[in-house]
Amino acid sequence: YVGARESTFQALVHSFSNRVAIIALICVVLAGVIAVPIAQFITYPIAELVEATRRLAQGDMTVRVPVYSQGELAVLGQSFNIMVETLHQTQQELLHKEKLASMGQLAAGVAHEINNPLGTILLFSDVMYKEASEDDPRRDDLKMIINETTRCRTIVADLLNFARQQEVLAQETNVHALLEQVVEGVSHQPSFEGVEIVRQFSPDLPTIQADPAQLQQVFVNLLNNAAEAMEGGGTITLVTRPVNSRWVEIKVSDTGCGILEENLGKLFTPFFTTKPLGKGTGLGLSLVYGIIKMHRGQIAVQSQVGQGTTFTVTLLVRLFEEGQVAPVSTPADVIA
Ligand code: ADP
């Protein structure tokens, strides 16, 4: 007979249960200590994403989420950041286009109303100037009236050009021949004295569907700006190349004064000019922008102060697909 006292056995069972309970408790605490940071590690980026989405919904376009690791959440964070960036850019573009469209309507109205009275002033002052004798003291004043009225008419003509970008009369256009015509037309101007024009034309450039008269305006403006940015001379380089089967690219680079970074965003805004009073109207680049947008193209600018500026125009080879009729665009369509 082998026996044990019940009390000893009970004590043993008791101590065993206690140990099991303590071990279970320690396991639970340990699991908590380990699980909470892991859970936080997983849910923190989600909470940040939720907060960022809330701020975005309130219109805060500066919101970005930090991208910590390389997992799915990081990819989600990156996609969110890219989405906000694209949204921001699209919003800015829309605002700009809306501004251009309303400026176009306003400009057309004002220019139309002002054009006729200006013509009358010019006509009568010119007649009075011609009738005034050589020693008439009013001759200088009349000359001043004629000069200033002529300047106003140039501004009004620019405004009307800007507002009248209505129709893209597209036809097969040889970009090189067009650029040659533009160079031929502008290079006799005094601002082109001491300016060398270098051509780097790709022999593979296809003809494109575009409105040649409007494209001429684009490149006349870009070349004039380039020459005016290079007081004392410099080099303008014209580079063409096919980007792929759908797009061609035309670059106009100069070795001029460059553009301050804070001005880069305002270049295509109507009436933005850094030229002295009487020299610039600030309508050239907004006209260029409108024409390029009506051709469903792109225009970009890169500049380094003191070194020069490059405008890159990208245009579609086939503006209208087979069988599609050329659209008639109004400045308001530029929004589309
Ligand atoms: P405007 O020539 O009448 O001033 P634009 O719209 O053509 O109007 O140009 C706006 C401004 O952009 C210019 O006043 C000038 O400051 C700047 N700009 C345009 N092209 C160049 C260039 N190639 N180099 C330096 N600045 C330029």
Per-residue pLDDT tens for 85-108? 999 988 888 887 777 777 777 777
Average pLDDT of the residues of the chain: 86
Contact 206, 220 (CB under 8 A): no
Q: How far is the CA of 193 from the centre of ligand 1 (A)?
A: 18
- Residues 172-221 have pLDDT tens digits of 999 999 999 999 989 888 899 999 999 999 999 999 999 998 899 899 99
Instruction: Output the pLDDT for position 321.
Output: 65
- Does the reported pTM lie above 0.85? no
CA atoms within 13 A on the CB side of 141: 6
Q: Cβ < 6 Å from ligand 1: which residues? A: 221, 225-226, 229, 254, 256-257, 259, 267, 272-275, 280-286, 309
10 Å CB burial of residue 322 (0-12, 13-18, 19+) is exposed
Q: What share of the chain is helix, strand, coil (3-state, %, to 5)?
A: 55, 15, 30
Alpha carbon of 267 to ligand 1 centroid (Å): 7
- Point out which residues pair with 253 in neighbouring strands: 237, 310
pLDDT at 257: 94
For the chain, what's the residue count?
Answer: 336
Round to whole Å and give the CA distance between 73 and 41. 11
pLDDT at 16 over 90: yes
Q: Tell which one of 186, 217, 252, 273 to mutate to probe ligand 1, the residue whose CB is within 8 A of the most ligand atoms.
A: 273
273 Cα–ligand 1 center, Å: 6
Nearest CA to ligand 1 atom 19: 225
Name the residue with the closest Cα to ligand 1, atom 21: 225
Nearest Cα neighbor of 225 from 283, 150, 277 is 283
Q: Provide the pLDDT for residue 285.
A: 92
Confidence (pLDDT) at 332: 36
Element (H, E) at 49: helix 6-57
The residues near 211 (Cβ < 8 Å, ≥ 6 apart) are 167, 168, 169, 170, 171, 173, 291, 295
State the Rg of the chain over Cα.
35
* CA–centroid distance, residue 115 to ligand 1 (Å): 25
CA–CA distances in Å: residue 76 to residues 38, 55, 238, 259, 261: 19, 17, 42, 37, 32
Ligand 1 centre to CA of 227 (Å) is 10
Ligand 1 atom with least separation from CA of 272: 10
Pocket probe mutation, ligand 1, options 222, 225, 263, max atoms within 8 Å of Cβ: 225
Query: Which atom number of ligand 1 is nearest to the Cα of residue 257?
Result: 25
pLDDT of residue 333: 36
Write 274-277 long-range contacts (CB < 8 A, 24+).
Answer: 275/228
pLDDT in the model for residue 165? 59
Average pLDDT over residues 223-235: 93
| 267-278: pLDDT as tens digits | 988 788 998 876
Question: How far does residue 298's CA lie from ligand 1's centre (Å)?
Answer: 18
Cα–Cα distance for residue pair 196/229, rounded to 1 Å: 13
Which pLDDT score, from 0 to 100, does residue 111 have?
78
Q: Which protein residue has the closest C-alpha to ligand 1 atom 2?
A: 280
Contacts of 78 (CB under 8 A, 6+ apart): 67
Alpha-carbon span 327 to 336, nearest angstrom = 12
Distance 225 CA to ligand 1 centre (A): 5
Mean pLDDT of 227-231: 93
Q: What is the pLDDT of residue 331?
A: 37
Residue 319, both tokens: 């503006």
pLDDT value of residue 164: 65
Distance 272 CA to ligand 1 centre (A): 8
Distance CA 265, CA 303 (A): 12
pLDDT 10s digits, 254-295: 999 999 999 998 898 878 899 887 677 788 898 898 889 889
Which of 159, 224, 254, 285 for a ligand 1 pocket mutation test, highest count of atoms within 8 Å of Cβ? 285
Is the pLDDT at 34 greater than 70, yes or no? yes
| Residues 294-303 pLDDT 10s | 898 999 999 9
Query: What interhelical angle do 175-186 and 212-228 show, nearest 10?
Result: 50
